[in-house]
């Protein structure tokens, strides 16, 4: 799936304003398998009511760290209740579709990035959560600037 701004929708929860500091923002990105639409919810807490039974969402946040401000995300590949072969499929889909998901998040927060251009230099790390070690751990996905669309 490729990213399309016309198929991307953003919802700010009442606790978030445009001027809310980046370190207070939490992101939940979901999608529709039927339409390919992306849905980004931004709040001070993860909008877990947006999580569906497929558990194919991407959660994310900015971390203020002594070495910089990475964008940290996570996805659930699987647990004891999900068969190994299914986790293998989920892992590969998450890896393949992560660039589209990251484009959706950063497109939805383009105003924040315009007001805080230093965030475009932030590295991106995604935690793949699984009970199988081959599907578990942090992976680097480059930098925020790599996912910004040029208009």
Domain edges within the chain: 5-147
Confidence (pLDDT) at 101: 95
What confidence tier does 19 reach under pLDDT thresholds 50, 70, 90?
Answer: confident
Q: What is the mean pLDDT of residues 55-69?
A: 92
Q: What is the mean pLDDT of residues 5-17?
A: 92
What confidence tier does 151 reach under pLDDT thresholds 50, 70, 90?
Answer: very low
Contacts 24+ apart (CB under 8 A), 95-101: 95/139, 97/1, 98/58, 98/126, 98/141, 99/3, 99/141, 99/147, 100/1, 100/2, 100/3, 100/38, 101/29, 101/31, 101/38, 101/58
Asked whether the beta carbons of 41 and 8 are under 8 A apart, the reply is: no
Q: What is the mean pLDDT of residues 113-120?
A: 96
pLDDT in tens, 131-140: 999 999 999 9
Confidence (pLDDT) at 56: 87
Q: For the whole model, what pTM was predicted? A: 0.93
What confidence tier does 55 reach under pLDDT thresholds 50, 70, 90?
Answer: confident
Residue, of 142 and 54, whose pLDDT is higher? 142
Confidence (pLDDT) at 36: 86
Mean pLDDT score across all residues of the chain: 93
């Amino acid at each position: 799936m490729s990213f399309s701004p016309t198929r991307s929708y953003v919802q700010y929860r009442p606790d978030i304003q445009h001027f809310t500091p980046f370190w207070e923002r939490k992101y939940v990105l979901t999608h529709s398998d039927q339409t390919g639409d992306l849905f980004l919810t931004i709040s001070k807490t993860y909008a877990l009511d947006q999580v569906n039974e497929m558990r194919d969402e991407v959660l994310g946040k900015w971390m203020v760290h002594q070495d910089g401000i990475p964008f940290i995300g996570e996805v659930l590949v699987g647990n004891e209740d999900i068969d190994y072969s299914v986790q293998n499929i989920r892992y590969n889909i998450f890896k393949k579709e992560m660039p589209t998901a990251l484009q959706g998040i950063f497109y939805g927060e383009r105003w924040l990035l315009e007001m805080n251009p230093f965030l475009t230099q932030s590295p991106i790390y995604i935690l793949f959560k699984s009970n199988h070690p081959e599907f578990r751990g942090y992976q680097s996905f480059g930098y925020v600037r790599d996912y910004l669309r040029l208009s």
